[in-house]
Amino acid sequence: MLLIVCPYCGERPEIEFSYGGEAHLVRPKDPASLGDAEWADYLYARSNPKGVHAERWRHTHGCARFFNALRDTLSDRFLATYRIGEQRPDLA
Amino acid sequence: MPPDRAALARLPAASRFILRGKPAAVTAAGNVFGIGLPEQACRAAVAADRAALWLGPDEWLLLAPESEGAELGATLARAMAGAAHSLVDVSHRQIAIEVSGPNAEAMLNAGCPLDLDPGAFPVGMCTRTVLAKAEIVLWRTMPLCFRVEVSRSFAAYVWRLLEGASREFGPQPKRCGE
Ligand SMILES: [Zn+2]
């Protein structure tokens, strides 16, 4: 079973977690001032990389907290997990 | 009589509160509850017949005897007045099942993916997790004894699942509610 390191609880089985989409997306401060294309871009356009992806996860059946993870979408390996509000770790 | 292999028992009704809050509220609550709420992840603190279980970085499950619930709720709310918090009485939302005996770990692992070896899951450790398709709170209260807190609506499912797992190890355990 794939193990994911929750930043609060430590190493836990994948089935306790749920995926929360791409991380570090910032909601526009004044949506009313955006055009349709810009708003659609915020809502729907995602980076979808082949390789390292910063994404949100939730330890739903554990501490129930959201956190961020860097995962390689090619190998499905988790490279780092970190708390909401913390800087994205530099893997280099 | 200690169980020789594996045993299931329904534990008595209890008062239960879910407390969420920042340190000011949490400290005040611990003072009147009689137990400082554990800051270490996945740990329970016990004093007399009360317990405080860490469920999340700002979330605890408080357990006390059933008869103390009403007064305890009022006392906690009074102590935390002025500090932002959420205190919810969940006494009747869930029930508690005790899983004990030398095969308790194996019984739970029939549906729970956690490593329950005492080295990885020692006495005093507690956490929300899953038991097959149900969410539970699992707490190791003694070396060979676990407390399972489960939503009322999932209780029969969890009981039968554990009962089925226990057949591998010994005689039929008692029926839920008997
Ligand atoms: Zn967690």
Q: What is the ipTM of this complex?
A: 0.91
Cα angle A40-A41-A43, degrees, rounded to a multiple of 5: 60
Is residue A54 within 8 Å of residue A23, measured between CB atoms?
Answer: yes
Q: Is the residue at B160 inside a domain?
A: yes
pLDDT of residue A91: 86
Give this prediction's pTM: 0.92
Mean pLDDT of A11-32: 96
Same domain, B148 and B126: yes
| Domain parsing of chain A, residue ranges | 3-83
B59 chain-A contacts, CB cut-off 8 A? 63-64
Is B47 part of the contact surface with chain A (CB cutoff 8 Å)?
no
Task: Examine the pLDDT at B82 and tell me if it is beyond 60.
Answer: yes
Instruction: Give the tens place of pLDDT for each residue, A48-70.
Output: 999 999 999 999 999 999 999 99
B46: closest CA of chain A, how far (Å): 20
Instruction: Give the tens place of pLDDT for each residue, B12-31.
Output: 999 999 999 999 999 999 99
Beta-bridge partner residues of A40: none
Alpha-carbon distance of B34 to B12, in angstroms, equals: 21
* Best of A63, A65, A84 to mutate (most B CBs within 10 Å, chain B): A63
Task: Examine the pLDDT at B136 and tell me if it is beyond 60.
Answer: yes
Starting at the edge strand that comes first in sequence, how are the strands of the sheet with B94-100 ordered?
B7-10, B94-100, B145-151, B134-142, B126-131
How far CA B40 is from CA of A10, A64, B66, B77, in Å, comes to: 12, 16, 27, 24
- CATH code at position B64: 3.30.70.1520
Q: Please enumerate in sequence order all residues whose Cβ is within 8 A of that of A77, keeping only pairs 6 or more positions apart, or say none.
A: A71
pLDDT of residue B2: 47
B120 chain-A contacts, CB cut-off 8 A? none
How far CA A46 is from CA of A55, A76, A78, B79, in Å, comes to: 11, 18, 19, 47
Q: Provide φ and ψ at B60, rounded to 5°.
A: -135, 150
Among the candidates B89, B122, B138, a domain finishes at B89
Decide if A63 and B130 are in contact by the 8 Å CB cutoff: no
Among the candidates B47, B72, B89, a domain finishes at B89
Q: How many domains does chain B have?
A: 2
Same domain, B111 and B156: yes
Same domain, B108 and B70: no
Instruction: Give the tens place of pLDDT for each residue, B24-69.
Output: 999 999 999 999 999 999 999 999 999 999 999 999 999 999 999 9
pLDDT of residue B169: 81
By residue count, chain A amounts to 92
Alpha-carbon distance of B79 to B77, in angstroms, equals: 5
pLDDT of residue B1: 42
Residue B148 identity (one-letter amino acid): V
pLDDT of residue A1: 80
- CATH code at position B101: 3.30.1360.120
Q: Which of A4-8, A52-56, B72-76, B172-176 has the lowest mean pLDDT?
A: B172-176
Q: The domain A3-83 belongs to what CATH superfamily?
A: Folate-binding superfamily (3.30.2270.10)
Same domain, B62 and B46: yes
